A and B are shown apart, each in its own frame.
Chain A
Amino acid sequence: MKQEFTVTVYSENRVGILNQVTSVFTRRHINIESLTTSESAIEGIHKFTVVVYATKEEIEVLVRQIEKRIDILKAYYFSQDEIVYQEIALYRVPTASLFEGNEVEKLVRQFGARILEMTPEYTVIEKTGHKNETQELFNKLDPYGVTQFTRSGRVAVNKLKKEPLNSYLRKLAKNGVNPEK
């Protein structure tokens, strides 16, 4: 049975790694639902967070196939209950819409969103949450004229006691192995 998995990948910071990660999914005709990438807490190591729908058997093999790529340090997969995750969404609405009744303001309060910027022309609202939450706010705001909407990929931390990559790198450091140039 297919279910949602969050895959986290740690790699060297080198040209073309994203292609290496995504091509493993492409080969299996698995669509990427969400993708976030940036430098991890460790200097020079990048972290990818990828959300996909797959079976447990598929994801196990996929993660090993990603990790097999030379420039990938480690890859892990987590089911939804093994992580805490968040996404961020931005909504641009005409500022005028805030003055036509208090509905927009009510929605901002109700959804725990906040106003990021306000100009005479437009207002930008920010909401963090899961996709269904940011989507719901979009649906509710849309009648007031959302002119732009964008949602980020997922960021996630797992519920394990220790970050597994850190212990791996610490082990390497203990053995006197220098980090990558």
Chain B
Amino acid sequence: MRISTLFLVIGCFAFVSPSLQAQGQVANQPGAAVNAGGGGDYRSTTTENMSDRLFDVNSDSVDMENGSLQWKGKTFFLGNSRLMRARFERYLAAPAPAGDTKRYLEIFSQIESLLAPNVINDKTWATNQQAAFDLLFEAARYELDGESSLTLASQIRKVWEMRREFRDLGVNQNQLDVLRKKQEGIVINRGEQLELANDQRAEQSAKKAKGGALVKSTAGTTELGYRAKDEQKTQAEIVANQTKMTVLALQAQVEFQSQIVQYLLARRYRHCIVACAFYRVMFRSSSQNVRVGAKEVKEFFPISDYVPTLESLDGLCREAINDVAVGVRTTEELFKQGEVFGAFERLQETYFLGEYEPVIQAFNPARKRELLELWRDLRELQRVGDERDLANVDQYLNQVSAKAKDFPAAAVRSKVESAKAASNMQILAAQQAAVSGDVPKAEAALERAAKFWPLNPAIRDFATKAIAHQDVLAQKVPEFDRLHTDGKWRDIFAKRDEFAVALIQDKERLAKLKAVVVRVGEIEAILLQASSLAAQGNPYLAWDLLQRASAIDPNDLMLARTRSDIAPLVADYARLLGQAERLERDGHDAAALTAWMAAQELNPISEVCGTAVKRLAGKVAGAGTAAATTGTPEVPEAPPEVPEAK
């Protein structure tokens, strides 16, 4: 765990040995009267104040995407979302754990009672620790515990061993101090003796100098040197021993705090509480601040000036336990009200907050099974939603709604319908763009359509049609060319839409198509008008229109058919018009004029006749002289047919 890398400031000498406590060395510290065990200031309002600051924040929520739980402003990281889902699903499917949950909870209560500040004193300090320690093994036998109590017991045992080692080091330290003092006395004694001897020798030398022999003055210095060296060696051993004790004390403190923080982050609140209780008893009050994992704990509490203490951790755990209990009660109540989806949400939040709480683990298995079914449907619903498989959303929506009446299906359905509509609109835009030949625009619209609804069947249809369109293109161009060459305008007109799509990129052929469509379309309009006039009893006017259509395309089949329909009604008129046209074509303007006038008598409002009469009359009036001055009149090769007036 990362916490092990975060050993920060060294807390000096955190151990409070039983012997020192017995000597009353902590008796004059604050709270000692009720806190003889060396615990923190349990009477203070630290926890309450901290709770007020921490627990007045927003509501709880589970973030499946990030795999975290937001609870009263604090974030539990629960692993990746896939594992979260799997764990919750496993919980819903799992049967209730074996063992007496009530008894299990009682064990933890007993441990807390044994280590309570008002119980711990000089007499009970050791025995209560041992009794609480033994209860941990009993708790570890329950399935609910997951043998976490054994881990705590091991940690406690380790601290005890460290404490014993520390005590041994303390004894050794005392012995070294005694030795060093003795050696120091020896060195001082030897030094003084040497100084005295030297003085005596100096006096004797002075006397002998007047007539005596030389006196030796360095006797005894060698022994003094050895004695001083022994004293220095002992001093070095004392310093090394002190360092070893300091490290040992720090190691014990750090390891235990690591375990406490680990329990909190793992949401094993009850273990965290009893670990705090053990810590208070085993370590003296100057070591109650949480030094280990401070970074993680501060991240857990989003407050800048937060100083983690055992009380804050303890209070947090108790609040979490309480919230879990409330959550389970709420879930039950929602079940009773028939609000299954609400119950599901509350249970999910509560589960991730207090996964290892007995009340969660022992939740009604039948209801868990019911929620498991809902969970699977919800997961499928989410899957189809993530995949934007909107066609199948309805199916799962109905399933979920059938199981949970309070599920907000309408909102989901509304969004689904909106997405479907948006996708279809984009496909429509793509189709229009494709028809107009704007391929990039069509592609962009299709891409947007797929973004809204990737599995939209209309997209597949569009693709199929696009492929078919390519085939049609390959066939339509030669067909158009053949029909155009053969002058089959009607056939082209009948397939104008197909040709328009196929020839959209071919401007030359498109112009030809347009000309054909305009020409045939004009004939069609005239034929329609002529038929209408004939039906109203104006066959002569209808015939005039047909004459106009004939000028556009005399070979049009529909025109020929209509002419044949109307011709019996206007036989004389038609014959006169035919003759007039033929005479005019042959240059017999006056005879043609006579024929036109005869026709006009039959159809006085005929625009065709009126125009022809006006045109030819002017021509004959002006050209009469020339004709008149011509010599022998020419005999026509073939006499014109006779236009007879009625």
Asked if A and B are interacting partners, one says: no
Question: Which A residues fall within an 8 A CB radius of B?
Answer: none
Question: Which B residues fall within an 8 A CB radius of A?
Answer: none
